[in-house]
Structure 1
């Protein structure tokens, strides 16, 4: 939620800075004449509503600048997602990336799998693993995907000790062989 607010503030800040920059460039190249600038300033000081609007925009810009200043000084607490376990000896943290690599390792051992990607989602019950693959088309796809599911589930549970609740396999495509068979007549 905070990132969305920061992105919105950055967008607003960028728009206002772009407008101020365009005015500065226009004054610098004398596209805005001195008399036009003086008239605008006179109208600004002549209208209480306009002065209030400028003051509010100034306060908002200051607060946004202060927010960005604080964000730039704060340390990024970017921690990779992990699955945490407590044992009698202490805590164990296994990153989601490690889980994905273990799933890939187990799935690549299956014959017929050519290209593979994995996503792991940690849930309260265990892990959900989603695999996207390209196969060679030489074996039965239902049998191959079932073998992949069994292999990934047992391998990841054995290595990590964390239960795997679901292994989904999405077969994206099959590889086309480029070999040309010659015909003998």
Structure 2
């Protein structure tokens, strides 16, 4: 409910500031006659208390909305980390995307022949879409290794989180070179 109210306030604030900017541009470029401008200014400071009170009220309202948006922009929100939300019979469960990425890395690292791993998780309508970026040692078949990694990651994520995995994409970035060791020969 608060988010909807903040969006409505932001819309009204944007319209008010936009209208004030248009009036200021027209006034500064000579779009209003000087006699009319003097009359408006004298109305604000003169005898017409209704106009004066409404201008002060609008200014206070815009100031309060500005303060609200300033506080929202400065305040740190603990729930700002991206998460996957699930509703159960007992309540809500929130799992951070970072947690799912770490689970994917842990599962992918179980695949033999994988050296350096990175994971990226995206939440889609059909489930989680996981991208694994890996370096391999080049000792075995890359398609076999990739399929094993996809199967392991998918099973581990679904088992650990209960969230369906729509897709596990594996990107083999490069082949690592094992350091070669030379034995010195003594004669």
Q: Take 1:163 and 1:71, find their aligned partners in 2: how far apart are those partners?
A: 38
Cα separation, partners in 2 of 1:68 and 1:169, compared to 1, 3 Å: farther
Q: Take 2:181 and 2:66, find their aligned partners in 1: how far apart are those partners?
A: 61
Q: Take 2:67 and 2:176, find their aligned partners in 1: how far apart are those partners?
A: 52
Question: What's 2:136 paired with?
Answer: 135
Question: What's 1:159 paired with?
Answer: 160
Q: Take 1:49 and 1:101, find their aligned partners in 2: how far apart are those partners?
A: 59
1:42-53 equivalences under 5 Å are: 49=29
Q: Take 2:136 and 2:66, find their aligned partners in 1: how far apart are those partners?
A: 48
SS across alignment from 1:176: coil
Question: What's 1:170 paired with?
Answer: 171
Q: Take 1:149 and 1:168, find their aligned partners in 2: how far apart are those partners?
A: 7
Structure 1: gaps spanning 5 or more residues: 3-47, 53-65
Q: Could you report, residue by residue, the CA deviation over 1:6-59 in whole angstroms, capped at 9, with x for unpaired residues?
A: xxxxxxxxxxxxxxxxxxxxxxxxxxxxxxxxxxxxxxxxxx748x9xxxxxxx
Scaled by the length of structure 2, the TM-score of the pair is 0.59
Question: What's 2:151 paired with?
Answer: 150
Structure 2: gaps spanning 5 or more residues: 1-6, 8-27, 33-62
Q: Could you report, residue by residue, the CA deviation over 1:137-159 in whole angstroms, capped at 9, with x for unpaired residues?
A: 11111000000000000000001
1:82-121 equivalences under 5 Å are: 82-121=83-122
Aligned alpha-carbon RMSD (Å)? 3.2
Scaled by the length of structure 1, the TM-score of the pair is 0.60
Q: How many positions carry a matched residue from both structures?
A: 130
Q: Take 1:89 and 1:134, find their aligned partners in 2: how far apart are those partners?
A: 42
Q: Take 2:29 and 2:156, find their aligned partners in 1: how far apart are those partners?
A: 70
